[in-house]
Structures are given as C-alpha cells and as structure tokens.
Structure 1
Amino acid sequence: MSLPNVVNALTAEVQANRKSEYDLAPLFLNRWSLRSFTDQKVSDEDLYSLLEAAHWAPSSYNDQPWRFIVAKTEEQLAVFHSFLGDFNKLWATKAPVLLLVASDKQRANGDPNGAHAFDSGAAWGYLALQATIKGLVTHAIGGFDRQQARELLQVPDHLELHAVIAVGYQGEKSQLPEAIQEREVPSGRRSLREVVFEGKVSS
C-alpha cells in the first residue's frame, strides 16, 4: 500500500471491522496486530526506519530508556524462537524479524527510573505506526520466557524485558492454523466512556 493511502484512507478490512467515535487519522485504525506473515525479508533501511521512529518517542528527562535487541538472521531468529511460548510459536516463527523490547530501570546517575516502562511503551507505539506507514505489520508478544531470554541474550539485570515484536509483511490468513484464522481481523475497542473519566473515576 502506498504511503498516502495508508495515512489518509482506511483499508477495506479495517473499514469493515473498525469505527472510531471521533475524528481520527486513518493511520491509527489501519494499525492492527496481525499474525500472518509472508517470507519476504525486511530491508535494513526499512527496519531501521522503524527503530529510528521509536527512538524519537518522548521520555522522562529525555532518558530514552528503551533498548531493542534485533533478530533477523536464521541463527538469531532460532534463539528467539526457543523462548517464545508454544502458542506464539505457531505463527511468530514465520516473521522475518523479531525485536525484544527492554528498558533501563536506572537513570544515568544510578537513580531508579520510575517511567522506564511507560516511556518504552511510547517507543513501541511509534515503531508500530511507522511500520504501518512503511507497509509493514507488527505484533507485540507478551508470551515468552523472560528468564530464558535474559540468559540466552545476556541481558543485564538493570534492563527489564517487556515484549517480543514480530515484524514483516502481511500474509494470507489461510496460511495460519485453522484455530487462529478467526482471530485474523482488526479488533475493536471499548467505548471511550469505559476508559475516560472527567474529573474523577465514577463508581
């Protein structure tokens, strides 16, 4: 999909499954978490465009606590596959790139950074939107063995592990296991009234 279309117009599958309550740029609705990937490789130029976008996210004191561990070779991907949960192995092993998102729990002076996870979530959001602009798809995975990942990737204790991000190009739904195919549609959202409170949280 071309850049102007994905930014300015809803895709057909999104239009059939999503509707915002208020005016919203189509880009935000066009981003959704797919599980079907093709075997098409992601160029370093496109991959690092996503990471560049993530790196421009806002952060407390501009600490930029996010860290990204990238797997894109067969050897690197095999290591990542080994610590994915069984359900996620059914589909995520098809993705040509996997990223492990971590964040530094400490500031440069050694003080604890209470905003590290919040800030790294913002970076992931930027990455996901840039992927959509580039015609790529992403899916954040929480189901993985964090201790095994830490040991295999030699991650120091001051970094907290958050999610594995699958990155690639959208494949056909029919390539997924049958039990997963019904999930391969853009999801809806709760009503804003359920998550937004003016003044105070109502009972």
Structure 2
Amino acid sequence: MKNTSEILDLIKSRRSLRSFADKPVSATTISTIFEAARWAPSSRNEQPWRFLVATKNQPEAYQKLLDALNPSNRDWVQRAPVLILTIAKKAFDRNNAPNGHAWHDMGLAIGNVNMQATAMGLVLHQMGGFNPNVAIENFRIPENFEPVTIIAMGYPGDPDMLTEKLQMLEKAPRSRKSLSELVFTGEWGRGVDEHNPNF
C-alpha cells in the first residue's frame, strides 16, 4: 500500500498532454487500466459507465472516433495510439428510473482510469469537444446510453511535434484554484485556511 504522500504525488503528476510517443499500448496494459475503472464506486452499485476503445490496430473504429471529434482536437489526437469513448447509462437497471448520478459515477471511474494510467507511465487527455450524435450514429449506441467524453491515451511524446500554439499550452505551468476557493467550512463562502485548517 502506498503512503498518502506517494498517492498525492501521483495525483499531482497527472497531466492532460497532447503529445504522444509513436509507441503502442499493449492489450494487457489497457485491460489493467479498465480493471481500475471497474472498481469505482457508484450509486446503488449501478456501475453506469461504459467504454468503447479503439486502437490504431482497429483503423475503422479509430477513424469513427476521429470523425466525431471537433476539427481542433482531431489534428493532434491522431498521434494517440488509443482513443476511448466514455458512455453513461442514463437509467437504473432495477426500475428504469433516471439515474441522475450516472455522470458523477462516470467521473469516479475515469478518475480511477487516470490514476492507473498515470502510475503506468501513460497520459490521458479528455475532450468534451466532440459531436455525440456522430458517435451515436457511428457506433449504433442504444438510446438509453449517452456519450460523455472522448479520451486520447498513450505514452508521453515530444511536444516539439505540436504546433507552436499547442506547444505553449503543453509547456505552460499547471494552475489550480486555492483550497480556500474550493472548500468552505461552516457556511457558504467561508474558505478553509490552507495553512491552519479550521475544520
């Protein structure tokens, strides 16, 4: 079991890169990453996440996912050896009632995917910039499922292969809001003291 500082360091090391090495990701590695997703928590243990995976070994499926992306994403994504369509099941199995937590639960599963991939030396870049209707049509996704994001996955590559604009984004320092902006204690707007937490 990793200690808490190791886990936090792993989380902090995650980056949404756009540069990918010309190196395939093995089937065993991909399976391990999705095994991490399988163990995510979910409301009523519904496990509403689904993943449609296409590697460059599957050119037809890979192209279908590329076709669903916005052009600005499509240009750089083509270097990624793996593309993943994330899909949420919109209703509970037990009674077909709408599952308002499905997208939250999908996020938990993707969090596991991110951390497992990062631990294995891979990078992921999630994109909302795609046309879900194209994905639905291309893959004949049933009506009770909704595409959420497309993820590019692979090993980190040389950012100098990107356009100048994307290189700037790739090399820019990461930024995060302070805890006091995100975590309130006692009442709305009372930010936690980061140096002396007042919980």
What interval of TM-score do these two structures reach, taking the shorter chain for normalisation? 0.7 to 0.9
Moved more, 70-79 or 115-124: 70-79
Tell me how far apart the structure 2 counterparts of residues 114 and 76 of structure 1 sit (CA, whole Å).
Answer: 30
Residue in structure 1 matched with residue 92 of structure 2 by the alignment = 107
Q: Deviations over 1:72-93 (max 9, x none)?
A: 1222111111111011012111
Distance in 2, Cα, partners of 1:69 & 1:97: 11
1:200 deviation in Å? 2.2
Tell me, yes or no, if the aligned pair for 1:38 and 1:169 is still in contact at 8 Å: yes
Instruction: Specify the alignment match of 1:129 in structure 2.
Output: 115
Q: TM-score, normalised by structure 2?
A: 0.88
Secondary structure (helix, strand or coil) at the match of 1:201 reads coil
SS of the counterpart of 1:101?
strand
**Which residue of the partner structure matches residue 189 of structure 1?**
176
Structure 1: 4+ residue segments shifted above 3 A:
none
Q: 39, 49, 52: which is aligned to 2:35?
A: 52
Q: TM-score normalized by structure 1?
A: 0.86
**Is residue 138–residue 168 contact of structure 1 (8 Å, CA) maintained in 2?**
yes
Q: Which residue number in structure 1 is paired with residue 75 of structure 2? A: 90
- 1:202, distance to aligned residue in structure 2 (A): 2.2
2:188 maps to: 201
Cα offset, 1:112, TM superposition: 1.4
Provide the alpha-carbon RMSD of the alignment: 1.6
C-alpha contact (below 8 Å) 1:90/1:177 kept by paired residues: no
Higher RCO structure (Cα 8 Å, ≥6 apart): 1
Q: Residues 97-137 of structure 1, C-alpha deviation per residue, up to 9 Å, x if partnerless?
A: 00001111111121111110000000001000000011111
Q: Distance in 2 between matches of 1:166 and 1:129?
A: 15
1:159 & 1:190 partners in 2: Cα distance?
A: 33
How many corresponding residue pairs? 183
Shift of 1:195: 1.1
Q: Distance in 2 between matches of 1:200 and 1:105?
A: 33
1: CA distance, partners of 2:44 / 2:186: 27
**Uncovered stretches (5+) of structure 2, i.e. residues with no partner:** 191-199
Q: Equivalents in 2 of 1:107, 1:25: separation in Å?
A: 34
Amino acid at match of 1:159: F
Report 1:21-170 matches (<5 A). 25-72=8-55, 73-109=58-94, 110-170=96-156
Identical counterparts, % of pairs: 40
Q: Match for residue 18 of structure 1?
A: none
Q: Decide whether the 8 Å contact of 1:102 with 1:161 is kept in 2.
A: yes
